[in-house]
Structure 1
Amino acid sequence: MFNFVQSTRSKYGNAINFVESVKEGKVAVNEKNDLCNNLGYSLSGGKISLAELDYEESREYAEKMIRDFESRNMFVMIMEKMNESLVVICERMNWDCYSGAISFKDTKERSNAGKPGTVKCEDEECKKSIKSCNEVDYILYEYYKNKLEEIIKYIPDFERKLKLLEENMKKSKGNAQKYPVNCKQNVNPDVREFEEIHTCKGNS
């Protein structure tokens, strides 16, 4: 599923039209970076869009990113395994995440699920189209999902620690937003630095 905002859906109608427009260079940079290889773009820390890479270019770029991350011993968390990822972080950072000494806050996520802007993929052609502009993300995801599973095997008493962390999370109260309300307002990724986009400098 592409989580289109209403304005994007109004312009392109469906995911296939959107991806075709990306390949033809007809999509605004912020739109294509939000929906095509967004993970790779965000992790790269650069300003070069990855949306128009073909399959071979995507594979080459993703493998280069992985080599770079591995050389710096980076750990990439997995969204649907967020709690498991947090246990790994707690262990690596030697944080006490299990006794209640640390409070956890749920992050509010933007979602258009069920709203008019949502564009769902119901057939293989649509899914293939979306994947074609997200190859970097697919490669990164598979690599780090498998790596997380391997890391977990070597954490002593992992299941008990995961249960304690989840119990602690349930006891924690309150929410924390990822960005201030107007964080990304008027940001042009072509001219603004990565740090500014992600720390909201000057976006008031």
Structure 2
Amino acid sequence: MKGYLASLLALLLFVGGCAAATGLPPVRDAAFDNHGIRAIALQPIVFRDAGPNNYCERDIENQVRFHLARYLQAKGYEVLRVEGATRPHGAPPDPLADGTPANILRLSPAEADAVLVVWVEHYRQFGLCDMVRQPYLEMGATAALYSRAQGAEIWRHQTYVADYTSVGNPVPYVTHQLARQLLLTLPDR
């Protein structure tokens, strides 16, 4: 009985230690702190090339934004979600696609100290809309933070995430890891 309890305690300590390591490591930057950013406007995700199929992959953008908001809050920022209109096929180009600070800041709420924009430059999937044994999803994205006070970009990070091994749905893993890896280098508040 004592051996069982000792094994159970060791297992709980191991699992607890693994669970604590899933967050983002703290990032400190005194120069970044001088910007005084407290509230960040989170713009809709911009797909520069191909994007999700609106019929069967319509929630991918929302899942990425959900995880981005969670990680921004974990870093101590207030998050203001900016809702964008659905862009039908053949619509004019997204005003956020050009990446100019003037356009990005103009399309964000005035109470935001900064604006976070994520551009997905690479999106490839197989089998998300079909019943296939091994679907996959690849996403490559860049995140940029624009300061309202400076009127310029103050931080940028790029990442690539893919899942070829999920038996079932690779979307939860890829959307979670994409948001996590994009914000790894963003300094904490």
Same fold (TM over 0.5): no
Greater fraction of residues in strand: 2
TM-score, length-normalised on structure 1?
A: 0.20
Return the structure number with greater helix share.
Answer: 1
TM-score by length of 2: 0.21
